[in-house]
Amino acid sequence: MRYISFLLIFLCFSTLLFSQNIDSLKQDLKRPLEDTSRVNTLIELAKAYKSKKSDTTVIFIKEAYNISFKSGYLLGQIHACFQYGTWYRTLQNMDSALFFFNKSIQIASSVYDTVEVCKSLTQIGNMYSDVGEVENSIRYHEKSLKLGIASRSYEKVGMNLYNLGNEYKKIGATKKALGYYQTARLVFETINDESKLASILNTIGILYVDWLSFDKAIETYNEAFKLYQKNNNFQGEADLKINMGLVYIKLGEYDKAIESYQEARTISQTIKNVNKEVYALIHLALVNTDLFNFKEADKYIAEINHLSDQVSQKDIVALSYQGIGYCKLYQNKCHEALDYLLKCMEISKELQLTERLNSSYIYISQAYMCVGDAKKASEYFRSYEQTRDNDNKRVNDARVKFETAQQDKEIKLLNKQQEINQKLIVAKEKETKQQRLIIYIFIAGLVLIVLFLIVVINQYRQKKKANVLLAEQKMYIEDQKKEIEDSINYAQRIQKAVLTLSDTQGTLLEKSFVLFHPKSIVSGDFYWATVVDHWTIVTVADCTGHGVPGAFMSMLGVSYLSEIVRKKEVIQASHVLQELRKYIIDALKQQGRIGEQKDGMDIALCAINNQTLECQFAGANNPLYLYKKSTQELKEIKGDKMPVAIYERMNEYTNHVFQLEKGDRIYMFSDGYPDQFGGPKGKKFMYKGFKEILLQTSHLPVNVQCNMLDANLTAWVDYIDKSTGHKFEQIDDITIMGIEI
């Protein structure tokens, strides 16, 4: 009793809330609203009335559509087009629905709203499913699935997996369907969406019934039932009880089946769902008929007839007529059975219920045979066979069409693989020819060795002496090599000590990272930072060359920057670069003569006011990337196209001044990362790819972003082409500095 009381209270409260919500939205429309607020309210009203299947829905959609396009409210345009599409889908107007869904996709794509694109793609897939175009349905659901994964919209991912399972089930690929259902189940478990998880389990249970795995079906239904109970989904509970009753019938456990149907009926009565109550009563009448409990069956038939005027779903009415007709036929009440079965047939034709119509034909055939009209019985049996064959042909055609498309894809893949194999064969033949040539050369050399063997023996002693001398020279070279390596390693320690941000702790650089990968032991790239008064000066530079020559240049750069900024207290970014250029030209004795070595450095330098967050930037060939947290955009501020060295153009460097905000990030870098070769095509990473990975990771903590950049670089460089075995090596020094304000 407490359970029933709770259901009644819940239903009354839900109905009251629904009515209050519509009234509240209508009151909002009476007040003066901004265009955006009015559009949003109209969309919510359209959704509310759509659930009531009211013609008023399209009035609200039309007004929202007109206002949003007049005011340029893009999100409103997306939602209005989407609602128009769903409305026309309910009217089975496919062309209009497709037009508005595609329009919603077009607008959503222009503002990179992948969630809304996902929704419309799913609806198009469902629409193709409605008309039996399985291949198109799968294509759109797969598109939506990829977008959902990319945008981490896991609820959309789960629903598209579920829809794909349904489509594969339609063409008889039930194992593949189960794979999609199980994956969808994992997704909904992960995001803790128990309502959709219960629906998935119910569908998996139905699949197990089709496979005659009744124990698994009952187990899965019970899991779903517990979730429906937990979330007070009473309609779901009623549906599951009927499904469980059908399984018990197949197992021959009629008492359990009747108990399940009775529970479904009780729940339906409590929530005042006449459609589901009649559905349960039909099954109770059928099972009692099968058990020859005709009196009990007639009692349920009387209750069905009593409630028939209150049934809102015509398909349930058709089912009730068929169920009663079956029961009457079983009791040998042939004329009564025929009346009900003919009514079922008419409704099934009207609603295009193919399966229901087909089963009606066979029962009508039996009813006419029962009343002694063999001619009519034969006509309806032929109708049954024709409908069955057409239905089977439709399913087979859909499956064949899909399998043909899959085979075409496989053939294309095989052809591509054959092309690759042919290239490998040509390469192998070339390699074999080269090896054969090497063998011929080796044989010729061996002959020469034999001819000169006597000479070699005579010179043996001299060679022995030479070998001793060579061994001594080798030891000397190895000692020299070790000394050089020790010197370079020591230089590396010196460079690491110089390249540090330790003296900037507690400043704007607290949230920063440096990704630093020299090509050799020491680097021609360097980074440097200092604080003068209330200014933080940071720079990343790429000197001519790498290894030891580059390292010398980097040490010159660090030394001169320290003198210019710390001693001379030059703060303005462009002035710092101009001073540094003078020092470099003087140190390298550059005069700009033809053929003179073009040594120097490309550099990006920032001066940030710690109090006002004003930022000055000057660049020599190198840009600065600015990530704005407020708009989630990555902007490029270009440097001047001249190095820090003598050059054909010796203009002053441009001093870019802009305002930073909390959460913004700035990035300075050398060209090593974008110019690195690797990946599946063996091409450069490029600045476009570099910008994309910075934009994708700028919302992460700086240390995590640094790790992501490092991991991406490693994967790019370490990629090995499986067909050629080619490996990539680092081609230049790599430095990236990122600072979060």
> Hey, is 738 helix, strand or coil?
strand
| pLDDT tier at 591, thresholds 50, 70, 90 | confident
Query: What's the rounded mean pLDDT across residues 292-320?
Result: 84
Exposure string (b/e) for 698-721, b if CB count within 10 Å is 16 or more? beeebeebbeebeebbeebbebee
Q: Structurally, what CATH architecture does the domain formed by 506-740 represent?
A: 4-Layer Sandwich (3.60)
Neighbours of 448 (CB within 10 A): 10
Query: What's the rounded mean pLDDT across residues 325-348?
Result: 86
pLDDT score for 329: 85
Nearest-angstrom CA–CA distance, 105 and 85: 11
Nearest-angstrom CA–CA distance, 154 and 299: 49
Nearest-angstrom CA–CA distance, 612 and 582: 31
pLDDT score for 17: 34
pLDDT score for 29: 56
User: Facing residues of 527 across strands?
Assistant: 540
pLDDT one-digit tens code per residue, 644-672: 999 989 999 999 999 999 999 999 999 99
589, pLDDT greater than 50: yes
Nearest-angstrom CA–CA distance, 236 and 537: 65
Nearest-angstrom CA–CA distance, 729 and 710: 15
Neighbours of 367 (CB within 10 A): 27
Which range, of 246-255, 470-479, 590-599, 719-728, averages the lowest pLDDT? 470-479
Query: What's the rounded mean pLDDT across residues 313-336?
Result: 84
Nearest-angstrom CA–CA distance, 604 and 527: 10
H-helix or E-strand spanning residue 608: strand 601-609
User: Facing residues of 120 across strands?
Assistant: none
pLDDT score for 18: 38
Taking the domains of the chain in order of start, what are their residue ranges? 506-740
pLDDT score for 23: 57
13, pLDDT greater than 70: no
| pLDDT tier at 468, thresholds 50, 70, 90 | confident
Nearest-angstrom CA–CA distance, 542 and 671: 8
* Residues with Cβ within 8 Å of residue 261, at least 6 apart in sequence: 241, 242, 245, 280, 283, 284, 287
pLDDT score for 1: 35
pLDDT one-digit tens code per residue, 537-550: 999 999 987 777 88
Nearest to 224 by CA among 207, 211, 1, 210: 207
Nearest to 51 by CA among 81, 15, 103: 15
H helices, E strands: number in the chain: 25, 12
pLDDT score for 28: 54
Phi, psi angles (nearest 5°) of residue 512: -150, 165
The pLDDT mean for the chain works out to 83
528, pLDDT greater than 80: yes
